[in-house]
Amino acid sequence: MNKKHFLLGAACLLICSAASAQEAKQKTAMDAGWEVQVQQKNGSWRSSYKRSTQERARYFAGIECLRWKSPIKIVDTASGKEHALYCDPRVGKITDDGKPAPVVLLTEPEASQRAKDVKAKCQSNAFMSAMLDCDCIEKNAKAELLQSEARVGLDAILKKVTHPVSKECVSRTNAYAWTRNSCVSVMKSHRPQDVEEFCSCTADATASGFVKDPTFNLAHYERLRNAAMKQCGLGRKVG
């Protein structure tokens, strides 16, 4: 390589390096155009993401909203102007001006249809349909749906109307029948002499206990049933 070619190569290298540095500088400036800030527990603001556009900053603000469930703002680094955002941590949805998004409610026909779907879930659950009145659950679900946001899911509504469950929705008849039938199927080979009497006693005591304290979970029901079985003679000799 002669001296002329060497000098040309060196000059090209310097020019290319300068251009790359300039591009990197411009890219950094673009990336820093908008900054996402998250409020910490002590009230101070922490910088998280830096993005080139307001749209990208808002997108990452939504991510931070879901992650930290804290107030969010985006800052135009060129002007220093701050844009407060409202963070709804349930869905990561953000709105401007620090105000919640308008709540969208269901219409009466929509609430009625969803309440029927909640009833169907109640009926398809063996334990739930055995202990509760699913028509009553439908009625309470509709009342709840009419005052809930349209985006609320059926499972959330079902949980809300069964934890805790209203005493009016407890079916003593269903609870008695379900407990008695399951008792007979298990105990008929263990105490055939008095299985009908024993299981009727167990079912009556269990159903009464559940009506008095309708905490809707299987563990609670089993505690009531076990106590009823002991009360009705489980462990005592028959005959």
Give tens-digit pLDDT for 215-228. 989 999 999 999 99
The residue written with tokens 């703002």 in the block is 73
Mean of pLDDT values over 53-82 = 88
Pair 85, 95: CB distance under 8 Å: yes
Q: What's the predicted TM-score (pTM) here?
A: 0.57
Report pLDDT for 14: 47
Mean of pLDDT values over 61-68 = 86
Across all residues in the chain, what is the average pLDDT?
Answer: 84
Report pLDDT for 67: 85
Report pLDDT for 28: 47
Report pLDDT for 40: 87
Q: Which of 9-23, 72-86, 180-194 has the lowest mean pLDDT?
A: 9-23
Residue 171, helix vs strand vs coil: coil
Buried b (16+ CB within 10 A) or exposed e, 38-77: beeeeeebeebbbbeeeebbbebbbebbeebeebbbbbee
Report pLDDT for 220: 95
| pLDDT over threshold 60, residue 205 | yes
Assign 6 a pLDDT band (cuts: 50, 70, 90): very low
Mean of pLDDT values over 121-142 = 95
Report pLDDT for 94: 78
Assign 152 a pLDDT band (cuts: 50, 70, 90): confident
Residue 34, helix vs strand vs coil: strand
Pair 198, 233: CB distance under 8 Å: yes
| 73-99 pLDDT per residue, tens | 999 998 988 888 888 766 667 776 556
Question: What does the angle CA 168 – CA 170 – CA 175 come to, to the nearest 5 degrees?
Answer: 155
Report pLDDT for 69: 82
If one compares 36 and 69, the residue with the highest pLDDT of the two is 36
| pLDDT over threshold 90, residue 153 | no
